[in-house]
Amino acid sequence: MKRADNDDEFLLLGEVAELTRQSPDTIRWLRHQGKGPPCVKVGRRLVFRRSGVLAWISQLEQEQAGAKGQARDLSLAGRQKGRTT
């Protein structure tokens, strides 16, 4: 019996794709590029821990928030450079 709140639950590629709303091909490509969620091969199947996928999503959120913050800081610095007081 599966429990939806179990972070140690194993997910297959299709389930990870559904969870992230990406295609299975996109998840495969991200894995190939070394940018996808952590997984292991069991036989011929890729297996992902739900906790690993959720941590990967959190990491992406932090990276994107940091990139937006840096862009905002740069735009403010550019505005302040042009000011004369």
What are the chain's domains? 10-82 (1.10.1660)
Contacts of 11 (CB under 8 A, 6+ apart): 19, 47, 48, 49, 50, 53
End-to-end CA distance of the chain: 68
Section 75-82 average pLDDT: 61
pTM score: 0.71
The token pair that represents 70 in the structure block: 């840096």
What's at 69, amino acid-wise? Answer: G
pLDDT tens-digit readout, 50-75: 999 999 999 999 999 988 777 666 66
Half-sphere exposure of 63 (CA within 13 A, CB side): 7
